[in-house]
Structure 1
Amino acid sequence: MRIVRFLANNRQSFGVLVNESEVLDLPLSAYKLSGSSGRWETLSLNWLSDSDTLRFLQAGDEALKAAAEIVDYFRSDPQDSAFEGGLLRLGELKLLAPVARPGSMICLGLNYADHAAEQGLAPPEKPLLFAKLSTSVIGPDDAIVLPKVSEQVDYEVELAVVIGKRAKFVSESEAYDYVAGYTICNDVSARDLQFSDGQWMRGKSCDTFAPLGPYLVTKDDVPDPHALRISLTLNGETMQDSTTGQMIFKVPYIVSYISQAITLEPGDIISTGTPPGVGVFRKPPVFLKPGDKIEATVERIGTLRNHVVAV
């Protein structure tokens, strides 16, 4: 399933993309179905929230199963009155970040072999972790705002893991059980701040520096997260183009590694690193400027589009 958060008629909600152009509003459809007789009389609504996906993710498999049943029923009987007003045109919606405010947003540096090679560095022996603040999260088509304190803002397309249930001391073999799905993160970075501060938090966490989206794609629709093409264009020019097969540390290992020290909660984001082609290592370097248009694409996930403005 491709799950989307959206704004429609001044109301936030979330739903499932049922085809390439239409979204089924899940809360609205579930509320209506729960009031009908027959198979839906026992439908639990504990996992529903009108405006956010967090409660949905916290409910885990129960919510995912209910959502899948609702979508399957819609496809078998789209004329059911329960779906009246709940089928929305994708092009008429304002898409929002799939998770509004992740409790934790943990990122990996230098996790692509080809990205390490472009810097002339040996692959790290263990994951290099850092955090982005959730206040930096924005959604599809939102503006990346260049802060006055930086003159070297860069792009980084990344596959992001969305955690589906509380994970502590998780083994590598069971790690996928704790993954809800995947989305795209553009790990926007102020390189001058990142390299001068001695640590990365400020340079990675400026407001608007964590575009997420366009969808949360459930893990059943991504059989192998390490066999996906990943790319980014800047004003139509391809800047990054690789495959997630270049990851040094794979998703199960990353989830397990983090969980040995840090408790992961539903809705947390793990951004798994970027391939080569970032602006700072180009000759000459390429940094973002007002008016730039960025498209970050991961196979099976979609394309995350954002534009750049001055503060």
Structure 2
Amino acid sequence: MTELPSGEIGKFVALGGGFQSHLDEKERTYRWPDLWVVPDEAVIDGGEPIEIPDRVDDVKPGSELTAVIGEDIYEADKAEAWDAIKGFTISNDVTASGDWPGWSDPDHGMVTGVGYKLLPTFSPILNEYVEKGDEADYDDLAVEVHVDGEPTVSGSTAQMTFTIPEMVSFASNVCKLHENDVVALGDPGNPTNFLDDADSVTCEIEGIGKLTNPVERV
């Protein structure tokens, strides 16, 4: 494992729609992933508290395999994108899914909108990464979330809609990627527990590690 403190991360690029199970949950079809850039104040290390404002509810966790970039790329093809990854870590795509302050378009298929993911402390990331192996090593890794010790998400990277090189290539065609930028690759969705009244949440990905954060209401 190699250290990756949140303060050393450059851009935190997040991709939505990476798992077919999550798309089935929302009854959506994707030609390519959704993309947004996470603000610095949302990014925290493992062990730091996720702070949930009183005004939001139905707060969901999301365990995400996250690529750590090792070299500058822009408009990369799939092979170049894969070569540019130096390792993988875990992030938690915390999302307030309740009706606050109300959707910009209630009939739009995107249930929450990106803004509900960008609140301060809502993007914890493990402060270390595992060096990249062969691409096939990531074809069927267990992806789990436990809330207060209770199983909440159980999935696999076998459910991914796009390949890892496709997603990182796509991200690089939207924005330039540099060393220590990270690209979160989506989550299986379908959590059975919210974080609203939780004390802690643990995201785990087979062969990558565990990310645990306390949860606080503020």
- TM exceeding 0.5: yes
1:60 equivalent in structure 2: none
Q: C-alpha root-mean-square deviation of aligned residues, in Å?
A: 2.2
Whole-angstrom distance in 2 between the partners of 1:183 and 1:222? 15
Counterpart residue number, 2:49:
143
1:107–1:129 Cα contact (<8 Å) kept:
yes
Aligned length: 211
Deviation at 1:278, TM superposition (A): 2.5
The answer to whether structure 1 residue 248 and structure 2 residue 155 are counterparts is no
Q: Which runs of 5+ in 1 are unaligned?
A: 6-97, 280-285
Say if 1:130 and 1:200, in contact at 8 Å, map to a contact too: no
Structure with higher Rg: it is 1
Higher share of residues assigned helix: 1
Aligned to 2:77: 171
Which residue number in structure 2 is paired with residue 268 of structure 1?
181
Aligned partners of 1:307 and 1:149: how far apart in 2?
A: 19
Distance in 1 of aligned mates of 2:119 and 2:8:
15
1:56-93 C-alpha deviation (Å, 9 max, x unpaired): xxxxxxxxxxxxxxxxxxxxxxxxxxxxxxxxxxxxxx
d(CA) in 2 for partners of 1:152, 1:128: 21
In structure 1, the residue matched to 2:18 is: 111
Matched with 2:2 is 3
Question: Any unmatched runs of 5+ in structure 2?
Answer: 106-111
**Residue among 208, 215, 219 paired with 2:121:** 208
Deviations 1:107-150 (A, max 9, x none): 1222211122233x143121222222122111111111111331
Distance of aligned partners of 1:257 and 1:222 in 2 relative to their CA distance in 1, 3 Å threshold: closer
Mapped partners of 1:227, 1:159: distance in 2: 12
1:207: how far off? 1.0
Are residues 145 and 122 of structure 1, via their aligned partners in 2, closer, same or farther at CA, if it must alter by over 3 Å? closer
Share of identical aligned residues, percent? 29
Select the structure with the greater relative contact order (CA < 8 A; seq sep ≥ 6). Answer: 2
Amino acid of the structure 1 residue aligned with 2:89: T
Which whole-Å CA distance do the structure 2 matches of 1:181 and 1:271 have between them? 12
Query: 2:203 aligns to what?
Result: 296
Question: What secondary structure, in the 3-state scheme, does the structure 2 residue paired with 1:196 have?
Answer: coil
Give 1:133's match in structure 2, choosing from 22, 31, 39. 39
SS at match of 2:7: coil
- After TM superposition, list the pairs within 5 Å mapping 1:164-243 onto structure 2: 164-192=70-98, 193=100, 196-197=103-104, 200-220=113-133, 224-243=137-156
Q: TM-score, normalised by structure 1?
A: 0.62
- Offset, 1:174: 2.3
Q: Is the 8 A contact 1:106 1:132 kept in 2?
A: yes
Alignment of 1:15-164 (within 5 A): 98-100=5-7, 102-119=9-26, 121-164=27-70
